[in-house]
Amino acid sequence: MLNYLWFFLAALFEIAGCFAFWMWLRQGKSALWVVPALLSLTLFALLLTRVEATYAGRAYAAYGGIYIVASIGWLAVVERIRPLSSDWIGVALCVIGATVILFGPRLSAS
């Protein structure tokens, strides 16, 4: 379950970093937005390495599902846009997929 904490923290910092670039490049905000963007994206990368997984690709795949959950939360909380029911159905499917990838059975590498 600690993996989910790392995933959610990583997602928060990834979304915040990307959002800062969005504000600079798409909303015409100051180039100073790049500073928190780079710091946030660096923390994202560091946090994602805390996940207990044998292979990086599997950790990143499972993270993708959690990233979607966090993105819909960001949409609701930061951007103040109410998610649609289809958003929540997609979120549920992604969490199920992430859980299967992360905790599914593993074959021995012989």
Structure tokens at 12: 């928060």
Taken in order 20, 22, 23, 24, the sign of the CA dihedral is positive
pLDDT tens track for 57-99: 888 888 888 899 999 999 999 999 999 999 999 999 988 988 8
Taken in order 2, 58, 72, 70, the sign of the CA dihedral is positive
More confident residue, 52 or 109: 52
Q: What is the pTM of this model?
A: 0.79
Q: Per-residue pLDDT for 106 more than 80? A: no
Alpha carbons 33 and 59: distance in angstroms, whole number: 29
Mean model confidence pLDDT for the chain: 90
